[in-house]
A and B are shown apart, each in its own frame.
Chain A
Amino acid sequence: MTRLAAPPEAMPRPKKHPSADRPARRRGGRRYATWAWNALAMLLAVVFGFPIYWMLITAFKTSGDVTTITPKFWPRHPSLRGFAEVLHDPIFLDDMRNSLTITLSAVVISIVIGFFGAMAIARFRFLGRKVFIFAVLIVQMIPLLALTIPMSLLLDHAHLKNTTTGVIIAYLVFTMPYTVWTLRTFIANVPKELDEAAMVDGCSRWQTFYKIILPLVAPGLIATGVYGWILAWNEFVLANTLLLDNNKATLPMYLLYFQSSPVHGADWPGLMAAATLTSLPVVVLFVIFQSRISAGLTAGAVKG
């Protein structure tokens, strides 16, 4: 965390820093235009936010109000039944913990591994470099559905099926490649002169990585982390295939419980309450890191 807190001003190119741009745009009596843009932004927020709003109010509706001939834009008899049931369900909390363990581990591991890999291709020329880049790309293209059963067999042979560790390893397949790609562009954006200078000052290569490059790509680490987080957090098919015990289940598996089955109808308010509570940690995470994300989601990638 202390690393992440390193001030961006440490970057040697002060002009690059975004917040400095904005006042300039305000110059020249553009307030009226800004007002119009704000209105457009609010319109977009309403359009994009409407399905979210629908999810939220459905969670508060009673079953009879979920689908009605005249849509109910506000729950007539707001009910906390769905939320109460989910929050009091020990299985929900268990599954939340499982999801947290799996997602956090997969993201942290892929960031560490991805950072090293990205360092290598951004900073070194070596035989097999292109093959490596290509392999990273190819892995992203494997359809996950085709991969599921072979992956399950592989983990079975390695005695990792039906374990949290196994799912974490399987998730690296889709969290790591993106990390390598994206971090590579971040690292490439840190001028090599900095490495050189540090090494002239007597830093070892490792110290250079650690003290110079890592702080500068911290926003990139967060941004790729959030991306991987969302993918892993919402993944269903692999988790459902690899985890056999109920007490190891993750949140997307939990959501299924509310859907209709041959003998029971779907509990939509319950499902939407559970879905809201499932999305919330991600949103909270976003809000915490938001400033860093927008500063850094792709700070490196825009190198011309």
Chain B
Amino acid sequence: MKRTVVTAAVIAVTAVMTVSACSSGKSSGGGSTAVMSTDGKGKTITVWLQSDAQKGWPAVVDAANAEFEKQTGAKVTVQWQQWNNYTTKLDSTFAGSTGVPDVVELGNTQTASYIAAGAFKDLTSGKAQFDNSSTWLKGLEASGTSPDGKLQAVPYYAGSRVVIYRTDMFAKAGITNPPTTLDELNADAAKLKAAYPHDPNFSAFYMPARNWYAAMSFVYGAGGQIAMQQGGTWQGTLDSSQAQQGLASWQKIATDFSVGGKTKDESDQDAVMAQGHIAMILGNGWEVGSVLDPKTGNPKLKSVVSTFPMPGTAAGQYTPSFLGGSDLAVPQKAPNSGLGAQWIKAFTNTAQQTALAKFAIPNNTALLGTYEAAGQANQSTGEAAKNTWFVPNTPNWANVETGNVLQNMLEDIANGKQSVADAAKAADTKVAGILNAKN
């Protein structure tokens, strides 16, 4: 009578045991000789790229695939990804064995934690074979390099932030030239505010409080930084006098000249700007496209939207821009790792990067000229790309982002819940706690 239930239990236990036994994963591929391989006849490699490329520069991807297929005889399947839930997808795939791609794209602030986990192949010995590898953007290259100097991810593209502004509003406020110092920027913002006294929704400079990329630029511009390592231990440095000064000048813009963004981040600022009540935003160069895109913004503003690099404390200086971007890596468990590296080479070569330069900042300084020549906005972003800052390059950094430490600090400052000094001190403690965590 109870036989069935016993059988079921036996099956269940066996299942559990089998599964546990299997769960010790195989270590992948034996001693590899060369990083790259061109022997791909009859093979198909899988590439995970974010849909940014699908929407922005699909032709570049197609060209790289064609070139790669000609070189190796292998086929390429691109699986488009979304940033949402991406790390869970990567973690679960890397932990298992099914469907591990041969190339993955990663945000450059995520890369370090995967490098630390040993998720990627070491590409150091093939570095010279990647085009322009000697002139890769420093910040991007650093994000793909392990603490002991091994190249584990290849720079893909970057973005840098500039001021996107309304020329017509500037003209109405009597401003003829874009500001060249922060003081001038503040003075111009005040003029703009005065020029639109009857619009309660008017922002001379829309600065959503939770845009930490923007706020930290002021910190770095004032000579401060987020955190520094001393004797192997990380310390939060936001309460240094320089950092506080930077936060204070950010606070002035966020509270005096920005309306309606105190609990928001930058994700919808282009759509908000397209509504026509904003004179300036701090955004990536490509956001000009979003402001003007009929699907996401307002194409009628085409003739009145322009850009200039975010000025610094003195004329001729710029406020450093956060160097956001993406890297490409070959997973440790990739079935065709040599071909994967070869594909990265084809995708980041000079021809492809030159084509990419129409849409985003290429991965190297040699092509910055091409990039800047591609459009007005690019001059500003290209200029901005020469003076950039990057987050502390340590595996735990991603958790500072997940924990929203900086965003929460900024929101408290913007809403007057905490003074700059108190908020910075509290954030320092949290940042240090996360960066120094042992797991």
Contact = CB atoms under 8 A, between A and B. Distances in A.
Interface string A167-203: 0000000000000000000000000000000000000
A257 B324 CA distance: 21
Given A68-B275, A69-B277, A265 B93 contact: no
Interface stretch (B175-183, B239-247, B264-272, B410-418): B264-272
B56 A264 contact: yes
Given A157-B23, A261-B83, A244 B290 contact: no
Contacts of B296: 63, 260, 264-268
Contacts of B318: none
A137 interface: no
Interface string B50-80: 1110011000000000000000000000011
A43 interface: no
Contacts of A215: none
A259 B84 contact: yes
Nearest to A267: B295
Interface residues of A, number: 43
A68 B274 CA distance: 10
A5 B126 CA distance: 69
Interface in A134-185: 148-149, 152-154, 156-159, 161-162
Given A263-B286, A264-B56, A270-B295, A157 B95 contact: no
Contacts of B96: 152-153, 156-157, 161
Contacts of B133: none
Contacts of B51: 257, 261
A127 B2 contact: yes
A246 B23 contact: no
A68 B277 CA distance: 10
Given A153-B96, A246-B79, A263 B272 contact: no
B274 A240 contact: no
Given A261-B50, A265-B271, A153 B297 contact: no
A154 B82 contact: no
B271 A236 contact: no
B159 A262 contact: yes
Contact of A156 (B50, B98, B267): B98
Interface string A53-70: 000000000111011110
Contacts of A157: 18-19, 22-23, 96
Given A154-B19, A162-B99, A266-B268, A244 B79 contact: yes
A63 B298 contact: yes
Interface in A9-45: none
A128 interface: yes
Interface in A190-236: 236
The 6 A-B pairs with the shortest beta carbon distances in the complex, nearest first, are A265-B296, A156-B96, A265-B290, A152-B92, A263-B52, A161-B98
Given A67-B268, A241-B89, 17 more contacts: A62-B294, A63-B271, A66-B271, A149-B91, A156-B96, A157-B96, A158-B19, A161-B96, A162-B99, A246-B79, A260-B268, A263-B159, A263-B286, A264-B290, A265-B271, A266-B296, A270-B295
